[in-house]
A and B are shown apart, each in its own frame.
Chain A
Amino acid sequence: MKSPPTSGRLRDAAALLPVLGVALLMPPVIRIFAADVEFAGLPLIVIYVFGVWLGLVVAAALLARRL
């Protein structure tokens, strides 16, 4: 699975993933989604936090497979 030309970029991506997570989950970005809006009966903020969370898990899983 390890291919030299891409592993450098993958490593950088692995290092930047938590940074992306911090940016999405910390104010001010998270405040955008704190609005009192509902989708299918679920508050937007709940969908957002758990959605980002799941996104991080999936991204980490994909990276871990190829790193």
Chain B
Amino acid sequence: MRSANLVLAIALVYVAVLFAVAYAGDRRARSGRLGWLQSPLVYTLSISVYCSSWTFYGAVGSAARSGLEFATIYLGPTLIFVGWWLLLRKLVRIGHLNGITSIADMISSRYGKSAPLAALVTLISVVVSMPYIALQLKAITTSFQVVGNAGPDPLAGLPIAGPDFRLGFWITVGLAIFSILFGTRNIDAKEQHPGVVAAIAFEAVVKLAALLVVGALVVWGIGGGPAAIFAHAPAELLHAPDAFGSRWITTTFLAAAAIVCLPREFHVIVVENSDERQQRTASWLFPLYLFLTCLFIVPIAIAGIAFLPAGSNPDMFVLTLPMWAGHDAVAMFAFLGGFSSATSMVIVSCIAISTMVSNHIVMPLALRLNWVRESVSGEIRGLLMSSRRISICVLLMLGFLYFRLSGSPGALASIGLIAFAGVAQFLPSLVGGLFWRHANVGGALVGLAAGAGLWAYTLLLPNFGFIVTPDVVESGLFGLAWLRPQALFGLNGMDPLVHSVFWSLGVNTFLFAAVSLAREPRPLERLQSTLFVDVFRAPADTASIVMRRTAPVQELSVLAQRILGEYEAREFFRQAAHAQNLAVDTPIADDAFITQLERKLAGSVGAASARALVSQVVTVETISLDELMKIADETQRIRAYSQELEEKSRQLGVAVERLKQLDSQKDEFLSQVSHEVRTPMASIRSFSEILRHTPDLQPEKAARFVRIINEESERLTRLLDSTLDLNMLERGEAPVDVTLIDPEVALDNSIHVCQGLVATTNVRLSSGERVAGVAVRANADRIAQVFINLISNAIKYNTSPQPQVQITSRIHDGTYEVFISDNGPGIRPEERERIFSKFVRGWAHTQTGASGAGLGLTISWQILRHLGGTLTLAENSDSGACFRVALPVSVR
């Protein structure tokens, strides 16, 4: 039993419930118990204001006309939300830190708080939202008439009499009242509306539930299961040849752009956000909401085509299918769902755009034209409040007029996409501003203006024939064919939407980049750029570090009272004074305080107006570019510093390794020295004990023992001398007087000394080829020490039956070389590496009985090192060892 009156009654009850929810939400927020109002679930549901009546009714219409394309409108936002870490997180963080009130405020703040830019964004938003709001009004009115049985053929979804504008008008009035009541109750520091959020979250549940109920009814109640429904699908619907071409990409892109650029979406995502936790949940919950919303769209569209009379309006299938099936309750629920989706969109859009209009158009005009009297407390506040209320009314009336004039504009989906393409013009400035340091206000203004102009010409005009004559679309402006809106510059054969997006966004992006590059940014732009691009890195007080301002605190106080109202301004000043540890209620107007106050005012009037207001009071202002550069270079510096640390730690690692090695060498050395000392000590002790305890020892024996003790003591002394010598050489403390000497003289002396050793053996010591007249810088004694050591080793350890030692010298490549070779057992290959180390006896395997401390070669090696020469073991041919002493020849 549907009748217009019953429908009206139900709608009014529903509206009353909405008012109650909004009122309860507001009351809760006022008493400070935000609780569930700030839950991630409510936040997510409020974002679903994205799904307007275009979704509720239009998605099915779109699916019936062009298959899966409707899904792109929801896939775009899904991609943005699952990638929240990249874009949304940064957007929301900046919004919080800068007290951003709208998308216009965001863009203008980024570009040096530019007032013209804010006004341009606001203007574009108003133009875009007019047809969009008209679309919602049309959807509510039509659905009301359809479900209320007005018109002879309600099932067709097209009341013959046309839309009932009287009804439309009253709906408009109702929406205006709601928006004003809950959207402009207070001018807050943060532009948040808990009551509205509660109401739209409630509506979000209603619209999703309604769509799911209708979907379930269609699939299982009417269609007999999913497979049965899809069996009815026209072949062309899901398998159109060009379904996944440029239009698929374009609509996905536009939807992705719209989820951040639509003023109402920006409002619920950024401005109404209270913490990052909400975003974390919304990153998957909102895509899930969209997924569920879309789940039954295709089946409903197929069922509508299959079961409803030919020529029925696909945009009303959601409503007419339950009616056709005789489920009046479901149809009523569907009507409420559609009503919810349309009203929530209109309300949030009105609030967001009226805030922009009042902050970025009315306020700058009022300041310029001196509409507000000086020093009247709350004057500006009152102006803002009334301008917001008036702009809500004007906006809705414009929407209504649009709806009235255009009669029945095209399909819901096409109007929606026109709006999307319009707001997508914000994208280059918005995203470019978040990630590109050099983007500046010139680029943003020029790009935005050109993009919006092209969008209006190529997409808006051709779709609204009541504004221009059709022949402009047919043959171009002034009859110029290359100016045809849908084939600009002769670009033919493209889908009109793709064509428009290509030109408008292409030119927009190009000009944005080109003008940004061509122009040097002003200091304030640079500061804002750093604050936005480096929001996660720059210190929180960057603005007050860089900006130096002075202002009389009295005038600041007056200014604050004009905007915030007397009570809140006092409270703000009192808290600031408290934070500065002052006993009085008036804070010192330092840089930090002025920045804090400007930010607070920006929360009410937007960044551009707040700056203009504060600038009126400020007497001196400088922006320190040096400080700014420092902060901008912070990242760079941190990176450089960490590299430096890495290098240092690597060096430390190397040093530690070396120290460990040296430590173990020292331990080894000590244990070897002890070992070397122990053997002679043991014999000295045992022989001296025998002498002490055996008084009647034979004199010859006693004399032999004393001789052994004496020999062992000498050996001990030699060992200790060598150790000390080596120690001093290693530490570079050995006093070596270096003079110009003839090394051949030292060599001859050494050979002479060693002749004594030879006398007791049968070793043949011979000199080979020798040079003459050489001079090297060295110490004669030390050099002789080396030669004697090498020659005596060669003699002592020679086990050959016919032992020979040969000494030769020569000059080779400016180096004086002495070779001392023998025909003894030689050095075993495995010993060659460490022959010059301490206590290594290269001839230990020779069993000659001759013993040394194992320090001689080490000492010789050290001596030569000190003199700038080398001691090496030459690669000898067959048998024996050959040592090579090399010293650089000195020029006389």
State whether B79 touches A41 (Cβ < 8 A). Answer: no
Q: Which of B241-270 contact A (CB under 8 A)?
A: 243-245, 248-249, 252
On whether the beta carbons of A60 and B284 are closer than 8 Å, the reply is yes
Question: Given A18-B80, A21-B79, are A27 and B227 neighbors across the interface (CB < 8 Å)?
Answer: no
Least CB distance, A7 to chain B, in whole angstroms? 11
Q: Decide if the interface of chain A is mainly helix, strand, loop or mixed.
A: helix
Which residues from A are CB-within-8-Å of B80? 18
Interface residues on A, range: 35 or more
A45-B238, A53-B78 known; A15 vs B243 contact (CB < 8 Å): no
CB nearest to B287 among chain A residues: A57
Beta-carbon contact of B79 and A49 below 8 Å: no
**Does chain A have a CB within 8 A of B83?**
yes
Q: Which of A34-67 contact B (CB under 8 A)?
A: 34, 36, 38, 40-43, 45-46, 49-50, 53-54, 56-61, 63-64, 67
Q: Please tell me if the beta carbons of B85 and A15 are within 8 angstroms of each other in the complex.
A: yes
Residue of B whose beta carbon sits closest to that of A41: B227
Contact, CB under 8 Å: B83 / A17: yes
A53 and B238 CA atoms in complex are apart in Å by 18
List chain B residues, Cβ under 8 A from A18.
79-80, 82-83, 86
Give Cα A40 to B71, complex, Å: 22
**CB-defined contacts of B295 to chain A, threshold 8 Å:** 50
Query: What is the distance, in angstroms, from A45's C-beta to the closest C-beta of chain B?
Result: 6
Distance (whole angstroms) from the CB of B582 to the closest CB of chain A: 40
Given that A42-B226, A46-B298 are contacting pairs, would A26 and B248 also be in contact in the complex, using a CB cutoff of 8 Å? yes
Main secondary structure on B side of the interface with A? helix
| Residues in A neighbouring B235, C-beta threshold 8 A | 36
- Return chain A residues, CB-CB under 8 Å to B294: 50, 53
- Expressed in whole angstroms, the Cα–Cα distance for A56 and B284 within the complex equals 8
Cβ 8 A contact of B287, one of A15, A25, A53: A53
Q: Are the C-beta atoms of A60 and B81 separated by less than 8 Å?
A: yes
Give the CA-CA distance A15 to B225 in the complex, in Å.
Answer: 39
Docked complex Cα distance between A26 and B71 (Å): 12
List CB contacts (< 8 Å) of A1-31 with chain B: 11, 14-15, 17-19, 21-22, 25-27, 30-31
Complex Cα–Cα for A30 and B231 (A): 22
Chain A residue at smallest Cβ distance from B282: A64
A60-B228 in contact given A15-B83, A18-B83, A25-B75 (Cβ < 8 Å): no
Write out, one digit per residue, whether chain B residues 515-553 have a CB within 8 A of any chain A CB (1) or not (0).
000000000000000000000000000000000000000
* Residue from A19, A27, A30, A53 in contact with B291 in the complex, judged by beta carbons closer than 8 Å: A53
B475: CB under 8 A from chain A?
no
The answer to whether the Cβ of B283 comes within 8 Å of any Cβ in the partner chain is: yes
Separation of A31 and B245 alpha carbons in the complex (Å): 9
If A25-B252, A56-B78 touch, whether A31 touches B287 (CB-CB below 8 Å) is no
Task: Determine if B226 and A41 form an interchain contact, defined as CB atoms under 8 angstroms apart.
Answer: yes
Which residue of the partner chain, among A34, A40, A64, contacts B283 with CB atoms under 8 Å?
Answer: A64
User: Which residues of chain A are near B86, meaning CB under 8 Å?
Assistant: 14-15, 18
A-B interface pairs (CB < 8 A), number = 101
B874 CB–A CB distance under 8 Å: no
A45 proximity list for chain B (CB < 8 A): 68, 238-239
Set of chain B residues within 8 Å of A11, measured between Cβ atoms:
85
Interface string of B276-304 (1 = CB under 8 A from A): 00001101110110010011001000000
Verify if B510 is at the interface (C-beta below 8 Å from A).
no
Q: Which residues of the partner chain B approach A54 to less than 8 Å between Cβ atoms?
A: 291
Q: For residue A11, which residue of chain B has the nearest CB?
A: B85
Is B284 in contact with A61, judged by CB distance below 8 angstroms?
Answer: yes
Nearest residue (CB) in A for B67 is A45
Q: Say if the beta carbon of B230 comes within 8 Å of chain A.
A: yes
Given the known interface contacts A41-B230, A46-B298, A64-B283, the answer about A30 and B82 at a Cβ–Cβ threshold of 8 Å is: no
In angstroms, Cα B71 to Cα A42, docked, is: 17
Q: Chain B residues near A26: list those with CB within 8 A.
A: 244, 248-249, 252
Assembly CA distance A26 to B239 (angstroms) = 16
Contact B82 A56 (CB under 8 A): yes
Q: How far is the CB of B45 from chain A (nearest CB, A)?
A: 16
Q: Which residues of A contact B225 (CB under 8 A)?
A: 41
**Shortest distance from the beta carbon of A51 to any chain B beta carbon, whole Å:** 11
Most chain B CB within a 10 A radius of its CB, from A42, A43, A53:
A53
B83 and A14 within 8 A (CB): yes
Q: Determine whether the beta carbon of A67 is less than 8 Å from that of B85.
A: yes
Instruction: Tell me whether B11 is interfacial, beta carbon within 8 Å.
Output: no
Task: Please tell me if the beta carbons of A46 and B238 are within 8 angstroms of each other in the complex.
Answer: yes
* Residues of A with C-beta under 8 A to B284: 57-58, 60-61, 64
21 residue pairs of the A-B complex, CB under 8 angstroms, read A14-B85, A14-B86, A19-B83, A26-B252, A27-B245, A34-B244, A36-B235, A41-B230, A42-B226, A43-B233, A43-B238, A43-B239, A45-B68, A46-B230, A49-B71, A49-B75, A53-B291, A57-B82, A57-B288, A64-B280, A64-B281
A-B contact sample (17 more), CB < 8 A, given A25-B252, A43-B239: A14-B84, A18-B86, A30-B248, A41-B230, A42-B230, A43-B238, A45-B238, A45-B239, A46-B238, A49-B71, A49-B75, A53-B291, A57-B78, A57-B291, A60-B82, A64-B280, A64-B284
Give A residues with C-beta under 8 Å from B. Answer: 11, 14-15, 17-19, 21-22, 25-27, 30-31, 34, 36, 38, 40-43, 45-46, 49-50, 53-54, 56-61, 63-64, 67
- B interface vs A, CB < 8 Å? 68, 71, 75, 78-86, 225-228, 230-231, 233, 235, 238-239, 243-245, 248-249, 252, 280-281, 283-285, 287-288, 291, 294-295, 298
Task: Identify the 3 closest CB pairs spanning chains A and B, nearest first.
Answer: A41-B227, A18-B83, A61-B284
